[in-house]
Structure 1
């Protein structure tokens, strides 16, 4: 994980050369693969994270036709020296802080702006969870204890055969999925090739056939679980994720700019990490969850779902970070403290007792180093307790 650029280089240069030699790929496809090759390079990562549509196929997520929900500005809250040092150390590109629904701090770095649509990475998982909560209330998904194969029969006979929707939401599917970025043969790298080369993510998930534990028995963060949930949603509704998310979550929130998803070659949204929004719009999501799913004058996500999904219900190790339904609960969290997070330093942190939402984007190539994740939470708590 220390040098993901090398992983990208090994994988995609190989495919570029093979494709060019065989004459099978158009110029646009080769250009896209070259862009992916440099996605995480030190000189280009900041720009790339604001222009993911140049490296991947995408699909728009309509913001609807309603007005933008205003985010009013409160009294400016100067950041402490520790926060300024953290911004530099962690290659932060944006920091938006809300207190009681008002912006009390907003800053952008490294040439980014308030208009940049920044890649979410795994923050996107929490958006899919919110959508599932709406569908459960509407009855499209009858029960979290239903088997995933009831809604996604293509997963039958494989690793997900005995897992319930709840198991997968909790990242307790028991499915073997190797997320070693430095191993070109790992599952995460094979998945990356499927995505970048226009393959079908559904087929990739259905082909997984190994388990390491009985579903529900052990927690292990397995990114492909979120794609399996996407298959459940699409199977239950017969509709694409981008369309559903727009109708149920995005349009009711009144965002400033229309988001987009990265997709595979068949237009299927890359739900486990492919959302792209402005940092203020990430903050709106956090504010909606701080308010128990109520935002812009309406109950967007059921209150009960907000409570359940942000409670540490997964079988994580005692004393370690907790996990709910695609949401994280920090170590030592007070009630009402939870977050969405993604690789390279993307966060939406909520502290309900303090009335605080913090949305941050970053291009932190050292995000995997020991102690970095805990340091990030410590900074969020410093900010929350100082306002």
Structure 2
């Protein structure tokens, strides 16, 4: 009996030691997974959205060595009635308004500041669209009507086999993908855990085999489509997205601070939602698109790509928002009004008819409430109309 107890105790101690060793070995992964699982918790979400490097691996994006471009101050605007209540109700962390390139309102909330590099979420999709348009114009990519497998052959045999680049730009790939952020087991949340644990996003995309429709048949917002665009860009150029983005989009804008991307375990940028930068720097990108791709005398993005990508060309349903090439068009908006949009209340709202750019960052845990998005768009429209 004594021998049995002795060996039992030894086995328990060995098991505890093994658990400690594994815990130390995987400490970083465990820490990131815990951070991801509490990312949107009340009391943590605001701080998390300004410090995403705590939860994920990251890759830097050079801002280049040029000077910071000027965003001059304009005459402060009188905000429309109800804006203060809207800021509080929708948990805004920053609000910046440009009128003809001048800052007429800039405010930060919930303890955030001008130097915070806030997570873009899906606003990052519009950045990748801009880069894609440049590469298409340069001839690095021959056409948007070729299969994605021409540049990303690892997708052969997946649900993306047969989809064209246009399909993924317009979110008409037909791939079955559950985008429910509130369902722990949804595809989007499984993808988040792959990212947090240092897995491979390319492998995740290539592992999708189910289709909800044939490519081009119908529109459905599927974030992983944007990762496939990134795979196409990397396959066509042999270069990383952060390097290309820095050279062709970021450096010409003269940002205040270097952005960064969240990344997977292979240092592949999380292009569908992982860009982090300051509010004023989001505004610089918006101003460039408001000016048809030109910034401070330089044509950064081809004007014809700006026009094509911000036009409602995808087959969205009646009464739904329009969708172009990774850009949104509000319901009943005139031509020239479009936006980049991310979950939890992130927006770059552009009104070319009024020369207005509005940047909103937020930590709105109720962003999926009925009417929340319509309220946001309605308030941004009222701000633009007030100028």
Equivalent residues in 2 for 1:92-107 (5 A)?
Answer: 92-107=92-107
Equivalent pair of 1:356/1:384 in contact (CA under 8 Å) = yes
Whole-angstrom distance in 2 between the partners of 1:38 and 1:190: 15
Structure 2 Cα separation of the partners of residues 151 and 129 of structure 1: 16
Specify the SS of the correspondent of 2:75: coil
The aligned counterpart of 1:230 is: 230
Query: How many angstroms apart in 2 are the aligned matches of 1:278 and 1:300?
Result: 20
**Is the contact between residue 344 and residue 363 of structure 1 (CA under 8 Å) also seen in structure 2?**
yes
Structure number with larger C-alpha Rg: 2
C-alpha offsets along residues 78-127 of structure 1, whole Å, 9 cap, x if unaligned? 21231111001000000000000000000000111111000000000000
Query: Which residue of the partner structure matches residue 214 of structure 1?
Result: 214
Q: What is the aligned partner in structure 2 of residue 203 from structure 1?
A: 203
Does the alignment pair 1:42 with 2:39?
no
Which residues of 2 match residues 134-283 of structure 1 at below 5 A?
Answer: 134-283=134-283
Alignment of 1:26-175 (within 5 A): 26-175=26-175
Q: Distance in 2 between matches of 1:54 and 1:347?
A: 23
Give me the whole-angstrom Cα distance separating, in 2, the residues matched to 1:195 and 1:107.
Answer: 32
Aligned pairs for 1:321-336 within 5 A: 321-336=321-336
TM-score by length of structure 2 reads 0.93
TM-score scaled to structure 1, two decimals?
Answer: 0.93
Task: Map 1:282-321; keep pairs closer than 5 Å.
Answer: 282-321=282-321
Query: What is the CA deviation profile of residues 291-341 of structure 1, one whole-angstrom value per residue up to 9, with x for unaligned ones?
Result: 000002210000000000000000100221000000000001111000000
Q: How many residues align?
A: 370
Equivalent residues of 2:339, 2:350 under 8 A apart: yes
Q: 1:290 to 1:87 in 2, by over 3 A?
A: same
Give secondary structure in 2 for the equivalent of 1:81.
coil
Q: Secondary structure at the match of 2:96?
A: strand
Give RMSD over aligned pairs. Answer: 1.4
SS at structure 2 position matched to 1:348: strand
5+ residue gaps, structure 2, are 1-17
Whether contact under 8 Å (1:19, 1:25) holds in the other structure is: no
Q: In 1, distance between residues paired with 2:218 and 2:237?
A: 29
1:22 & 1:257 partners in 2: Cα distance?
Answer: 38
Alignment gaps of 5+ in structure 1: 1-17
Give the match's secondary structure for 2:103.
strand
Given that residues 155 and 205 in structure 2 are in contact (C-alpha distance below 8 angstroms), is that contact kept between their aligned partners in structure 1?
yes
